Chain A
Amino acid sequence: MRYLQVLFGETDGSSTSGVFKLYDKLVIYGTPPNIWKLDPHVKLRIKQVNVSGKPVTISIEFCRNYEDDTTCSPVDKIELASEGELSKKYEYPLVLRARNGSEGFRITWSQETAAKSYIMLVIEWSDEDGD
């Protein structure tokens, strides 16, 4: 099984830091959580990240416990230094895995001045062998 998903998130425009709510309106009902749970049977590959709007630094974070914000640490940071658009296509996808099912991931933002910025992610869920 390989399942591609496109996620969209935006800053709230009023806080200089926060966690993106990641939406895929086709399949997500209601408001998604801050931290998405990972599963030991499914690998998550982040293939591409687009950042746009006002300057922002985003941080992709792996969390040891998807129910505890304090267990998250960055695996990649992307800085949009000036207003515009930045696209990062991973030459080798960023692979996130779970070992026991308590793990998760989130994407945070930080800005010098609170303003609207946006992200778009292309991710792939897969249970197939290999990276």
Chain B
Amino acid sequence: MGFPILEPGDFVKIYVPCHDTYLVFQVVKVLNRGFEVLNYGLIPLSSGDTVNDVVSGTKTVPANGVLPARSWVSIMLKPLTWMKPHIDSEVDLLFVESEKKNVLMHCYVVTTPGFIKMLVEIPRGYQRVPFRDFTQPYSVLDSDIKPALGFVETISIPGVHQNVMFMNWTNIDLYVYITLIYGYYNIIVPSNPEVIYNVLSNKVKNVHEVVFSYYTSEPGVNDALRKWVGSFGISANIHILSKEKALKQIEEFLTKVPKEIRGGE
């Protein structure tokens, strides 16, 4: 199974389900090229911590790094000690501060064992699973709705914290090891509407699509999106418009994009 990290020149289109929009960026530089794998170690749980029972109630963590049988936990991945002076948050390894508009952190959180159920929780604490036009609690992940297994892909939007949910569906207490495979990119928004149109119309080959796991509107996340790209993005439905109208929408989007992340500036 591959975990593709982008190359300079590649495009990334980020789908925002909450607003049914896309954000389109081009990778200028991969800042961690050649060093994409980070062996994070055991899941950051300590003996005596409380986690959630899969069905209801809570369970106690029996030893450091163990996710008890039939339990789930939703946590921020805190930075390792040596990272702390160099990172944007003391509590969230995946966090990118809001001033860093031209940076994108693209990450695969991979677990050993590989059958841990996972999802990304944005905003933090919103512990619901989308089903059609309503939502359900995480207990539906036990046997009904299938989440990701063994890895989850995520991107960090500047100013937005995110949790990763880990569910041990087995009846065995498990040590859970985490590996991060990530790209830390310098990015721009392409300034040519035609380029964005081609990316959204799947007319370009080197495009990677990521879902920003944000399903229900929350003011903090909305503000972060607006601060980053000036709006919630480009409507995902532009493909049903004529090319002329689509380009007009993209141009409108581009006028709101802050100049520090607009290409050609």
Residue from the list B66, B150, B175, B176 in contact with A1, Cβ < 8 A: B150
Q: Evaluate contact between A127 and B175: CB separation under 8 angstroms.
A: no
- SS of A interface (majority): loop
Query: Contacts A29-B66, A39-B143: A3 and B172 contacting too (C-beta < 8 A)?
Result: no
Among A36, A41, A98, A104, chain B packs the most CB atoms within 10 A around the CB of A41
Smallest beta-carbon distance B66→chain A, Å: 5
Residue from the list A2, A36, A41 in contact with B171, Cβ < 8 A: A36
Q: Mark B194-231, 1 if CB is under 8 A from A, else 0.
A: 00000000000000000000000000000000000000
- Chain A: interface residue count, which band? 20 to 34
Q: Evaluate contact between A32 and B1: CB separation under 8 angstroms.
A: no
Among B66, B142, B174, chain A packs the most CB atoms within 10 A around the CB of B174
Instruction: Kindly state the separation between the CA atoms of A2 and B110 in the bound complex, as whole angstroms.
Output: 12
Q: Mark B60-73, 1 if CB is under 8 A from A, else 0.
A: 00110010010000
Smallest beta-carbon distance A93→chain B, Å: 16
Query: Contacts A101-B142, A127-B146: A2 and B173 contacting too (C-beta < 8 A)?
Result: no
- Point out the residues of chain A lying under 8 angstroms from B115, CB to CB: 1, 3, 39, 42, 125
A37 within 8 A of B: yes
- Point out the residues of chain B lying under 8 angstroms from A41, CB to CB: 117, 143, 146, 149
Q: Evaluate contact between A37 and B173: CB separation under 8 angstroms.
A: no
Among A3, A35, A37, A125, chain B packs the most CB atoms within 10 A around the CB of A3
- Chain B: interface residue count, which band? 20 to 34
Query: Contacts A42-B149, A127-B146: A29 and B114 contacting too (C-beta < 8 A)?
Result: no
A14 within 8 A of B: no
Among A3, A29, A40, chain B packs the most CB atoms within 10 A around the CB of A29
Q: Evaluate contact between B1 and A30: CB separation under 8 angstroms.
A: no
Smallest beta-carbon distance A130→chain B, Å: 15
Question: Of all chain B residues, which has the CB nearest A24?
Answer: B113
Residue from the list A32, A100, A125, A127 in contact with B172, Cβ < 8 A: A32
- SS of B interface (majority): loop
B32 within 8 A of A: no
Query: Contacts A39-B143, A100-B143, A101-B143: A27 and B174 contacting too (C-beta < 8 A)?
Result: yes
Q: Evaluate contact between A30 and B113: CB separation under 8 angstroms.
A: no
Instruction: Kindly state the separation between the CA atoms of A1 and B109 in the bound complex, as whole angstroms.
Output: 13
Q: Which of A2-35 contact B (CB under 8 A)?
A: 2-3, 5, 26-30, 32-33, 35
A66 within 8 A of B: yes
Smallest beta-carbon distance B194→chain A, Å: 38
Residue from the list A3, A36, A66, A100 in contact with B113, Cβ < 8 A: A3
Q: Evaluate contact between A29 and B169: CB separation under 8 angstroms.
A: no
Q: Which residues of B contact A (CB under 8 A)?
A: 1, 62-63, 66, 69, 112-115, 117, 142-143, 146, 148-151, 169-177
Q: Which residues of A contact B (CB under 8 A)?
A: 1-3, 5, 26-30, 32-33, 35-37, 39-42, 66, 98, 100-101, 104, 125, 127
The 7 closest A-B pairs by CB, nearest first: A3-B114, A101-B143, A1-B150, A29-B173, A37-B171, A41-B146, A1-B149
